[in-house]
Structure 1
Amino acid sequence: MEACPPPLSKWGNSFCTAKEAIEERIDANEHYLSARENLHHVPSLVDLAAERLANSAAALQDVESLDDVPPIILSVNIWRWHRIPYPALCRALVRLASEGMEPEALEGGANNVDEWILLNEKWLRDGNQPQWKTGLVTFSDTDSVFPDSILSQSGRTIARKGSLPGYELLCDAREPRITIQPSVEAFERTFEHMSDGSLKNLDWNNLFVAGGIVLGTLLSVDSREGERCSDPRWKSSDIDIYVYGLTPGEANQKLQHLFDTFCANLPAGTPTLVVRNCTTITFYARYPLRRIQIVLKLAESPKNILLNFDLDVCAMGWDGASLWMLPRAARALETGCSVFTMSLIRGHYLSDRRASTQERIFKYADKGYSIRILPSYLASLAAQDGHGEKRLSSVADGQRRLTEERIDEMQNRDDSGMEGAVSAWGSGGLLECLLPRFAGYRRSRCLKKGFKTFMRFVALWEMGRRGEVRLRQDIWASTCYQDAMTTYDDAPTPRYRWDERFDIAAFQTHMARANADELRNWADTDFHRRLDRLGAIEGFQRTASAASVDALLAEAQDIRMQVLLPCAFAAYANDVVRAAQARAGLRETALLVPTVRGRGTFDLAGAAADPQADGLFLWRVGAELMWQQLDRAVDEVFEALYAFRRVNEHLRDPPVFQARRLGNEFARRKVYSEFDAFAGWVGLEKKKAKKKKR
């Protein structure tokens, strides 16, 4: 890699910073894909025999493969065997318990089911399984996975344990027992009417429904055929559909088939609308028919789709014939909680597991699923300052008191902004309106701010459960796909009410106005009149809509966003994307088109020779490039462009300040050790030793 020149004025080293970040991440991803697991110790002959048994082809597929293993061998090795199916682990643990034996604890290793699941998932992600179904849980495994459950004709009832090791948050809504569908046939019938029959006669090849609607179907055992789901927890759930194993062209054909199926199952004369943003395409009809949301990501397999989910209980999907779950999803059903890892805070859609948001965490807390921090994380804190769980409890209790005191102050002042209600988690920011003098409450960023900030939201949720404040939950027409919480801050469709008053024409007008407002508001921040010399922005649209998929995929409906950046980077980005298009056999297009004044021309190649020359560009995303994971190089270029958009979100700042912030943007995906990152999030970052003054 060429060395960058010394920093200059204006944009500084922004071009080099962005280019190096892209190339380093592409190299790191290639290294990751080619890496193989290594043994961390020299195994004994007993270890080798046990590993060979646990990792045999039969053990990887058959949950009964360990039934003939002597209990003493199981007790010594069960926590070491991360490659056996989760149902086989559950059967082995039941068998050991019946023999009055416990698994042998490993020093510094997995010593409970939840730690084992984390290591097993690493193997599911990194290992070379014979097929994507290996290691996943299905209905046929439920007897083994839920050994104490009671199966009846109407459902399978799972009783939950009273307490679990670790530190729990948001557990006030958790139910002591749940009932799930008794069979795949019952699940299919319930899914049919919960989806309003909108997917009837669908060709399910290369399609996978995952997330909340699948969980809702699994738990809606009281729903009767022909009736809409009466459980308010799932009333507004969209049908999230993923595409896997296809090229962009094939995926677009699948989109058309999906839309044709959707329309064929609607009542005659029902109007439709197809809306596209940066991460999804959504089908609308009339309220209350469920919206269908297609996630614009070309996944390798259903397993990869599930592995990327943030919350454990959401990592389940339906392929039209079978229900598939990650082991952590089955465990979440049993425990009523999602296990905390730093991926919830710092995950990314391009990494192993994406991050979550406050909106999703509290949404699923309302549905009865808490967050649990495992004992190993608490032990890592104790290693830092000798306290561990006491440290967390102290911080949490302090933030609870602080929040309660602030609300008491507002109530005593009869604050006109209170009005006995708190706005929804995502509609403007809960604490932004309720606690305006608390620093650091940017919407969807409370998790990243740290444990203290997060605990203030937890405290309000707990007060809402106790009836001390009323939390108003609004339902909107916009469908904010979960990836909007990562770096795709541009993703959500403008908010519009989704209820009996929903009107397609009014919604389209609202979106057009939102596009115009966003561009005008951005230009209004240009106090230094930097845009005067850069040309006019024509055709901007962050959200596009049409009456059909065919119309939406036309060039006139491409997503087009403004971005201000060095011309050298624009030329580089165009070259990278064209090379990726050539590799994929796609038509080569210009990703970034410079704006010009009047009928003037712009020599991008000439301007790119000067690393300080900047330009205003229209970032155009067409019907093929809209699919994420087409090519890692394209994804990384898009990430860099979103970073540039964020740093020049307000044009009042001079480019030199934007250049500094750009470096911070690329540092957001820096890899930290799990426990060091956790300590930093809690507030126990190691302080650098101060140099003594001479």
Structure 2
Amino acid sequence: MDLDWLVNLILDYLPGFFAPRTQRILNSPCIPLDQDIPLGSQHFPTTALLPDDIKRLSLSGPDAQSLCDPYELGRAVISLQLEIAARRDSALIDTSPMPYFLDIDLIRTIVPSKSVQENVKILLQIATENGMNSADVRKLWGWTALPYTTRNAGLARDAGVQGKELGTGRLHGLAGCVNDQDIWLLENEARLRLISRRAALCQDTAPVPWSYGLIPLHELPVALTQPFNVLESNGSTVALRICRPASLPGFCVLGRKVKSNLYVQPSLEAFEASWASMSGEVLKGLDWDNVFVAGGLVLGTLLTPQGVMENGDVHAPDEWQASDIDLYIYGLPLDEANKKLEEIARTVTLYSSWPTRRVQIVLKLMKAPGDILLNFDLDPCAIGYDGAEVWMLPRFVRALETGYTNFTMDMVNGHYLGDRKSSRDTRIFKYAAKGFGLRFLPQYLDYLPSHLSVDRLASQADKWTQRCIHNRILVDIKVPIQVRGWPPAIGGTLPRIAHSDLDHYMQHSPGSGQSCLNGFSLLMRHVALWEEEAKGNVLIKERVYAENSYGEAVAFADLMYDDTPRYRWDQKFDMVDFCKEIRSFNQEETKIISQSLRHYQADLKLDKAKNSVRRLTYGTDIDDIFSRVHDLEVILVLSEDFVSFSNSILEQAMTDVGHPSTFPPLTIISKSRITQECLVSWKLDYALNWQMLDRRIDELREVLWIYHNTFQHAVFSHRAQQMISHAFRRSTRETEEEEGEAFAEWVARKPYHVGPGNHVYNL
């Protein structure tokens, strides 16, 4: 079937999307009170900023009923995403792997085996030999293609004082040259992403090494631009003490637990000694080839130097007591990755008793450690260990210096198939508790129109939160304890409050699903609650996070991959209970699907004995997990044509990666006598469970998950909106202006409430 008319999608259906930018931003805070609008349209606020590629998905085809055919729409979305990816890849292949500075190939002169200072001397020598004057040499350190350590060492050499900056703003007349440190970091990371993507696509005769631009631990002192001291004890260096600035430009939140000084490991040897203790040596004997550990526990090891524990500014190992060891396998094809997984499982004991560290193997086929770090949402997480060296992104080092993650719109709209995944409420507040706040750079604030003041919006949000706290306390005073449904707010010395007490029904946006990250004002309400706890005024009820407070509107549930049961890893953990929880979750999912069938397709029957849902599984060992009996199984309602379409994509992709399917991934369980739809079993084995094996598989998985979500909750009429939302979330912002416009739209979005009769009220 010709899908060209579907590749134009939203113009007639959502005209509010395409008002001029200024009009959208000016109108965005002003949704009329008591405005009566269709429930479905809440999935698309009129303030959303759609990229041109998404505008092409216009529901203006010749068939007026096309909107009701989510399967044709699903095909169109997959086609569009693959087309965008192919176009981007083609452009990368046609470009030079590394840029030149004033027509000089300086990057190729940097030798990884040499020290940073030696490379600076080489760069200066070549620059002089090519006739560069002293002014141009000075500008060289603002070039965003340089490694961060080279930039800082060059600045220190020219200034004679470590850390002296170029100034602020952009160097006029020189493309890719930036004065401001934070903007330099953003543009430098964009270059690192281009290098990484090109390396995955091209077979260059002299490829740029994956470590280019990353910072090994021994270069950390060179990378630091804040003052630091070397602390010694009994003649040995025990830590580096980083002196953080008293204030930062921009708008900072969640900073009450940011330490004024930060202590870090002084060397790789010191790190590895602490790593053995922090990890409980559960990885002892591991072959580290193609294995990378990244994230929280590596950060915790760096921040807990031994020998200075008596200082109040030093982080304690207990702060990471519940952290997992997250392992990534990189640089291997599917078969070898599975062999490596088996090898790890047989070498490392995957413990199931507290307090031994849990080992989690992330099923994502990454090309190199740099790709793993670039995918992290929060700056203090962008650190990893490969068994021989600790590697950091420049933005990680900046977070060490400032105590803040620099906000970008990727935190709201990112995606695991993109370069940087989006963040979650839980993670932002989790790392705030560990001493890392959130910072909005001045350059982002400059994109806001004059009527949008972040200080004013934050103040309004704080007042809202104070009212919610007051009202919650009044309720708990008046309502008998036996009917409250949760532990009393009044108890002990402090009132107990949950993020769910700030619940505003159906807070949703195309970019990030149901989350307090859907708008600046909404986020600030939850920030205000966190601040109240940090000040000692309330206790936040644990584990009821903001992101779980906006899930009641199932009609607008987004791609909730992680909707599996949350089971705490602490002294109360019990493996028998955990397995029971998994079985209960699968049984409940099966029950929900049966109920949805009765509501939507009564003639489709699910044989629970033959096709019960298995979203989660467990086993005694890796061989047990890899057996067919433990394949994950998801139940869907699809058209017969879409089943054939899906199987053809999956089977062709698996053949192309050298792993032909031995069975169709999607099988029809029963067919409807009323419609063209059927009940389908979607099975994921040890091959299809890997992400980023093949883009076609990943794109199809995304769409199938939308079908699963809408079917499970019996909200079939909203599948078209889900598809467009999915396409929106996957869109990229290629320019600084697009990023700024998206930020302005996000800040302008006001929280709202949908009341009886679908009336919308701004709150």
TM over 0.5: yes
Q: Tell me if structure 1 keeps the 8 A contact 2:632–2:685.
A: yes
Shift of 1:444: 7.7
Query: 2:238 aligns to what SS in structure 1?
Result: coil
Of 714, 730, 748, the match for 1:669:
730
* Distance change >3 Å, CA 182–CA 62, structure 1 → 2: closer
1:131 maps to what in 2?
209
For 1:439-483, what per-residue CA distance to the aligned partner results, in whole angstroms no more than 9, with x for missing partners? 62899832442111111110100001011111243599xxxxxxx
Structure 2 residue 222 is the aligned partner of structure 1 residue 144: yes
Structure 2 residue 70 is the aligned partner of structure 1 residue 18: no
Q: Tell me if structure 2 keeps the 8 A contact 1:136–1:326.
A: yes
Q: Which moved more, 1:438-447 or 1:149-158?
A: 438-447
Shift of 1:517: 1.1
Of 247, 250, 256, the match for 2:333:
247
Query: 2:599 aligns to what SS in structure 1?
Result: coil
Q: Tell me if structure 2 keeps the 8 A contact 1:11–1:566.
A: no
Distance 1:162 1:553 in 2: 53
1:571 maps to what in 2?
644
Q: Percent of aligned pairs with the same residue?
A: 31
Shift of 1:9: 5.2
AA at the equivalent of 2:666: L
After superposition, residues 187-226 of structure 1 pair within 5 angstroms as 187-222=271-306
1:498 maps to what in 2?
569
Shift of 1:563: 1.4
* Distance change >3 Å, CA 595–CA 521, structure 1 → 2: same
* Distance change >3 Å, CA 10–CA 540, structure 1 → 2: farther
For 1:613-642, what per-residue CA distance to the aligned partner results, in whole angstroms no more than 9, with x for missing partners? 212211110011111111000000001111
Query: 1:348 aligns to what SS in structure 2?
Result: coil
* Distance change >3 Å, CA 102–CA 198, structure 1 → 2: closer
For 1:134-180, what per-residue CA distance to the aligned partner results, in whole angstroms no more than 9, with x for missing partners? 11001221221125222231111111111111111111110011111
AA at the equivalent of 1:622: D
AA at the equivalent of 1:57: T
1:277 maps to what in 2?
none
Distance 2:107 2:328 in 1: 31
1:156 maps to what in 2?
240
Q: Tell me if structure 1 keeps the 8 A contact 2:587–2:612.
A: no
Distance 2:531 2:488 in 1: 16
2:43 maps to what in 1?
none
Shift of 1:110: 3.3
Distance 2:442 2:459 in 1: 19
2:361 maps to what in 1?
294
* Distance change >3 Å, CA 444–CA 660, structure 1 → 2: closer
AA at the equivalent of 2:669: T
Distance 2:100 2:451 in 1: 39
Structure 2: 5+ residue runs without aligned partners?
6-60, 128-132, 199-206, 232-236, 310-314, 492-496, 546-556, 751-763
What RMSD over aligned residues (CA atoms) do the two structures have, in Å? 3.3
Distance 1:239 1:373 in 2: 30
1:343 maps to what in 2?
410
For 1:205-240, what per-residue CA distance to the aligned partner results, in whole angstroms no more than 9, with x for missing partners? 011000001000111113899xxx953321110000
Q: Tell me if structure 2 keeps the 8 A contact 1:526–1:650.
A: no
Q: Which moved more, 1:125-134 or 1:169-178?
A: 125-134
Query: 2:589 aligns to what SS in structure 1?
Result: helix
Distance 1:136 1:554 in 2: 39
1:513 maps to what in 2?
584
1:690 maps to what in 2?
none
1:457 maps to what in 2?
526
Query: 1:294 aligns to what SS in structure 2?
Result: strand
After superposition, residues 101-116 of structure 1 pair within 5 angstroms as 102-103=166-167, 105-106=169-170, 110-116=178-184
1:688 maps to what in 2?
none
Distance 1:529 1:126 in 2: 46
1:405 maps to what in 2?
467
2:614 maps to what in 1?
541
Structure 2 residue 644 is the aligned partner of structure 1 residue 591: no
Of 27, 33, 38, the match for 2:89:
33
Distance 1:445 1:595 in 2: 32
Distance 2:146 2:568 in 1: 47
Distance 2:375 2:467 in 1: 39
Q: Tell me if structure 2 keeps the 8 A contact 1:75–1:101.
A: no
Q: Tell me if structure 2 keeps the 8 A contact 1:175–1:336.
A: yes
AA at the equivalent of 1:679: A
For 1:588-629, what per-residue CA distance to the aligned partner results, in whole angstroms no more than 9, with x for missing partners? 231211113xxxxx69xxx9xx9x621221111001111111
Structure 2 residue 593 is the aligned partner of structure 1 residue 528: no
Query: 2:702 aligns to what SS in structure 1?
Result: helix
For 1:327-374, what per-residue CA distance to the aligned partner results, in whole angstroms no more than 9, with x for missing partners? 111111111111110000000000110000000000000000011111
AA at the equivalent of 1:410: R
Distance 2:676 2:158 in 1: 69
AA at the equivalent of 2:629: A
Distance 2:490 2:109 in 1: 55
Structure 2 residue 157 is the aligned partner of structure 1 residue 95: yes
* Distance change >3 Å, CA 192–CA 224, structure 1 → 2: farther
After superposition, residues 421-436 of structure 1 pair within 5 angstroms as 430-432=498-500, 434-436=501-503
1:85 maps to what in 2?
147
Distance 2:667 2:404 in 1: 47
* Distance change >3 Å, CA 315–CA 216, structure 1 → 2: same
AA at the equivalent of 2:259: E
Query: 2:87 aligns to what SS in structure 1?
Result: helix
* Distance change >3 Å, CA 251–CA 492, structure 1 → 2: farther
AA at the equivalent of 2:266: P
Q: Tell me if structure 2 keeps the 8 A contact 1:202–1:261.
A: yes
Distance 1:233 1:516 in 2: 35
Distance 1:340 1:77 in 2: 27
Structure 1: 5+ residue runs without aligned partners?
41-46, 264-282, 424-428, 477-485, 597-601, 686-694
Distance 2:646 2:728 in 1: 20
AA at the equivalent of 2:459: D
Q: Tell me if structure 1 keeps the 8 A contact 2:239–2:264.
A: yes
Distance 1:656 1:674 in 2: 32
- TM-score of the two chains, using structure 1 as the length reference: 0.83
For 1:501-520, what per-residue CA distance to the aligned partner results, in whole angstroms no more than 9, with x for missing partners? 32222211221011101221
1:184 maps to what in 2?
268
* Distance change >3 Å, CA 582–CA 531, structure 1 → 2: farther
Distance 2:710 2:616 in 1: 21
Query: 2:215 aligns to what SS in structure 1?
Result: coil
AA at the equivalent of 2:228: S
Distance 1:344 1:235 in 2: 26
Shift of 1:387: 5.3
AA at the equivalent of 2:239: G
2:40 maps to what in 1?
none
Query: 2:363 aligns to what SS in structure 1?
Result: strand
Query: 2:120 aligns to what SS in structure 1?
Result: coil
* Distance change >3 Å, CA 436–CA 301, structure 1 → 2: closer
Shift of 1:527: 5.4
Distance 1:145 1:71 in 2: 24
* Distance change >3 Å, CA 238–CA 616, structure 1 → 2: same
AA at the equivalent of 1:521: I
Q: Tell me if structure 2 keeps the 8 A contact 1:74–1:92.
A: no
